[in-house]
């Protein structure tokens, strides 16, 4: 009984000693010296990538490295291999290294808030690339201009179809910013033309679902001249749904993945709105440089997209 009482008391004491405040939180003087690498010689920028197993992020890294060379800064790249826990650890390592700015390409928008806050406590500004972070403020967010990309796809179809025609739209995962923004840009632009969206359904950015949803929609809407898919995977599914049907339907995808680009080259897809990961990396480093030089930066930077057709 005595031991139990002691253990309970010890537990209570320990619990009351717990807090979410770590060392350094209480001493702003220590924090002020952080990020001090900027003062001594070449500034160091940390780039925390979600993965290097995806050509998109490898291109992003290449763009950042090139820009860092041009700007005369050192870039340290850490890779999370798509594991948010590993990414938190590597961001912490960058904080320990006292880099001047952290460019963060989060593995997941819900998991990295704590790491961003740790960086801010150490006076290191964070810039998110491609994906944002929920629950933490960042100095700047750099991502593709999805609204403009949606408009680009609509403008292309407007020209190709001569201003009128029926369109089916395949939507991405409901509620994601990519799906919302691409759809908004496309729908608004189509509304201003003589074209008409006759059906709109989610296929969750998935190729197999793109196939089955397209098959169903084509059953119900025989008179269709174009399909706009909010990513290349769904567009490739739609292409499969169209094989065997001997009529010309223009399929436009989004992202410019290797598969998507190949499909545009061989003519099975009419066009894809390609992202420019290299540009995202380049702008990331340039924004970081501005932060180091204490210049103002925009809270949100939209990277233009590029329409790819066969020509």
Partner 1 sequence: MTRVNWNRVAPLLQRLGSVIGLLLLFIVLSVLSPDFLSASNLLSVLRQISVNALIAFGMTFVILAGGIDLSVGAILAFTGAITGGLLAAGHGVTVAVGAGLGLGLLLGMVNGVLVSWGRVAPFIATLGTLTLLRGLTLVYTQGTPIAAPNQGFALLGKGYLFHLVPLPVVLMFAAFGVCGFLLRGTVFGRHVMAIGGNEEAARLSGVRIAPMKLAIYGLSGLLSAFAGIVLTSRLDSAQPTAGVGYELDAIAAVVLGGTSLSGGRGWLFGTLVGALLIGFLNNGLNLLGVSSFYQQVVKGIVILIAVLLDRRK
User: In the complex, what is the shortest distance from the CB of residue 109 to partner 1, in angstroms, rounded to a whole number?
Assistant: 9
User: In the complex, what is the shortest distance from the CB of residue 304 to partner 1, in angstroms, rounded to a whole number?
Assistant: 29
Q: What are 306's two structure tokens?
A: 């590029």
CA atoms of 213 and 262, how far apart (whole Å): 23
Burial class (CB in 10 A: 0-12, 13-18, 19+), 149: buried
Q: What are 288's two structure tokens?
A: 């970081």
Distance of CA 216 to the CA centre of its chain: 30
User: In the complex, what is the shortest distance from the CB of residue 201 to partner 1, in angstroms, rounded to a whole number?
Assistant: 19
Q: What is the CA radius of gyration of the chain?
A: 24
Q: What are 181's two structure tokens?
A: 């923004």
Are 149 and 185 a contacting pair, CB within 8 Å?
yes
Residue 239's alpha-carbon distances to 60, 81, 230, 262, in angstroms, are 29, 32, 14, 13
Instruction: Between 68 and 236, name the residue whose CB sits nearer to partner 1.
Output: 68
For the chain, the first-to-last Cα distance in angstroms comes to 84
User: In the complex, what is the shortest distance from the CB of residue 9 to partner 1, in angstroms, rounded to a whole number?
Assistant: 16
Q: DSSP character for 304?
A: P
Are 44 and 97 a contacting pair, CB within 8 Å?
yes
- Rule CB under 8 A: which residues touch partner 1? 14, 17-26, 52, 74, 76-79, 81-85, 88-90, 92-94, 96-98, 108, 110-111, 113-114, 135
User: In the complex, what is the shortest distance from the CB of residue 34 to partner 1, in angstroms, rounded to a whole number?
Assistant: 10
Instruction: Between 131 and 261, name the residue whose CB sits nearer to partner 1.
Output: 131
Instruction: Between 134 and 188, name the residue whose CB sits nearer to partner 1.
Output: 134
Instruction: Between 171 and 225, name the residue whose CB sits nearer to partner 1.
Output: 171
User: In the complex, what is the shortest distance from the CB of residue 241 to partner 1, in angstroms, rounded to a whole number?
Assistant: 24
Instruction: Between 10 and 262, name the residue whose CB sits nearer to partner 1.
Output: 10
State the CB neighbour count (10 A cutoff) for residue 223.
8
State the CB neighbour count (10 A cutoff) for residue 28.
10
Instruction: Between 116 and 168, name the residue whose CB sits nearer to partner 1.
Output: 116
Instruction: Between 51 and 193, name the residue whose CB sits nearer to partner 1.
Output: 51
Q: Return the sign of the alpha-carbon dihedral for residues 69, 74, 80, 85.
A: negative
User: In the complex, what is the shortest distance from the CB of residue 69 to partner 1, in angstroms, rounded to a whole number?
Assistant: 15
User: In the complex, what is the shortest distance from the CB of residue 125 to partner 1, in angstroms, rounded to a whole number?
Assistant: 19
Instruction: Between 86 and 261, name the residue whose CB sits nearer to partner 1.
Output: 86
């Amino acid at each position: 009984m005595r031991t139990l009482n002691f253990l309970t008391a010890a537990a209570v004491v320990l619990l009351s000693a717990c807090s979410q405040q770590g060392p350094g939180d209480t001493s702003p003087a220590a924090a002020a010296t952080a990020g001090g690498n900027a003062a001594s010689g070449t500034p160091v920028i940390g780039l925390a990538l979600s993965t290097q197993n995806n050509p998109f992020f490898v291109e992003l890294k290449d763009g950042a490295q090139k820009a860092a060379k041009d700007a005369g800064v050192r870039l340290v790249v850490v890779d999370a291999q798509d594991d948010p826990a590993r990414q938190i650890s590597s961001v912490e390592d960058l904080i320990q290294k006292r880099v001047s700015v952290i460019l963060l390409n989060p593995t997941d928008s819900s998991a990295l808030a704590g790491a961003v806050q740790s960086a801010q406590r150490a006076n290191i500004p964070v810039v998110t690339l491609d994906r944002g972070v929920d629950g933490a403020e960042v100095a700047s967010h750099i991502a593709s201009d999805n609204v403009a990309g949606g408009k680009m796809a609509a403008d292309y179809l407007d020209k190709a179809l001569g201003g009128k025609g029926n369109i089916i739209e395949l939507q991405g995962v409901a509620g994601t910013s990519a799906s919302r923004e691409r759809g908004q840009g496309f729908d608004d632009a189509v509304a201003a033309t003589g074209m008409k969206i006759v059906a709109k359904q989610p296929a969750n950015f998935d190729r197999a679902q793109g196939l089955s949803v397209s098959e169903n929609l084509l059953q119900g809407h025989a008179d269709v001249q174009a399909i706009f898919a909010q990513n290349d995977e769904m567009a490739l599914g739609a292409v499969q749904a169209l094989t065997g049907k001997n009529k010309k339907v223009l399929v436009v995808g989004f992202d410019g993945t290797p598969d998507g680009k190949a499909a545009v080259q061989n003519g099975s897809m009419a066009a894809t709105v390609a992202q420019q990961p290299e540009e995202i990396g380049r702008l990331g480093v340039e924004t970081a440089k501005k932060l180091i030089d204490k210049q103002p930066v925009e809270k949100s930077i939209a990277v233009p997209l590029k329409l790819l057709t066969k020509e």
